[in-house]
Amino acid sequence: MIKSAVTISIVEEARKGPFVFHEDVAAGCKHAAELGFDAVELFAPSPEAITALPLIDLLAEHGLSLAAVGTGAGMVKHGLHLCDADASRRTKGCDFIRGIIEAGAPFGAPAIIGSMQGKWDAVTDKETALGYLRDSLNVLGDHARSLGTKLIYEPLNRYETNLATTMKEGVELLAPLTTDNVVLLADLFHMNIEEASIADGLRDGGKHVGHVHFVDSNRQAAGRGHMDYAPIAAALTEIGYDGYACAEAFPIPDSYEAARQTIETFKSVFRS
């Protein structure tokens, strides 16, 4: 059965980013639980910031799981990414992600590689960049396996990456990997921009889809845009998806209302 989750960001630089709750993890967990979410997804500035949180207690107190942990702070805070032409900067990017994997693993929470994948450019051509990215996915995927979790790779829209922008390209990126421990994140916002059909994109991802960012066409809470969720839910059922549908959306009109709207739409899409 598909489970519900909602994002909490404690990254100052991402204050205007598409996260439902910001700054206060305790308040985010309290509201998530009140509204009936199964889990939260955490976007934190560093591995140390995760381990410093009273997460075990907060999750237990509110009966929540940790769905996933984001790694994008490596990019927004330090400008790191996995396709940097400079090998020492690639290593730093990889180390940052390794730290987040290790901070999430005790909670069974996989790390997400989104913006940390980077882009190819005039210095690093596409094949070279894809090679760098695959090298890191192999190492980090195996590391996640050694800690009992998966690694999540997220195709992004064309304005955020030029590596893999569709589920089909995501599958092609994973195909030559030596690790089988990397799954795809289907973010409905990115898919709405890049896929000819979101439902067909989910079918392209098939068994590789391991996480979903549940959001509307305008990156607001599900139910506040023009996304047609019925064919999306049908495609997720068809591919046997039973992971999280996690709200990664702007806190519009405010965090609580965005979360409330999300769970209302979640129930009508996945529980009726």
When the beta carbons of 115 and 265 are compared against ligand LER, the nearer one is: 115
Q: Which is nearer to ligand LER, 72 or 141 (CB)?
A: 72
Binding of residue 115 to ligand LER (CB under 6 A): yes
Nearest residue to 145 (alpha-carbon basis) of 211, 210, 101, 100: 101
For the bound state, the minimum distance from the C-beta of residue 81 to Mn ion, rounded and expressed in Å, comes to 16
Q: Which amino acid is at 122?
A: A
Q: Across the chain, how many H-helices and E-strands are there?
A: 11, 9
Which part of the chain contacts ligand LER (CB under 6 A), choosing from 51-59, 77-85, 90-98, 110-118?
110-118
The answer to whether 227 and 217 are in contact (CB under 8 A) is: yes
Assigned token pair, 176: 């030559």
Q: Which does 84 bind (CB under 5 to 8 A by kind): ligand LER, Mn ion, none?
A: none
One residue of 25, 156, 202, 258 binding ligand LER per CB under 6 A: 156
Element housing 267 (H / E): helix 255-270
Q: Which of residues 8-37 bind ligand LER (CB under 6 A)?
A: none
Torsion of CA 140, 144, 147, 149, to 10 degrees: 170
Please identify, using beta-carbon distances, which residue of 16 and 271 lies nearer to ligand LER.
Answer: 16
Residue closer to ligand LER by CB (options 125, 156) is 156
* Binding of residue 114 to ligand LER (CB under 6 A): yes
CA 232 to chain centre: 18
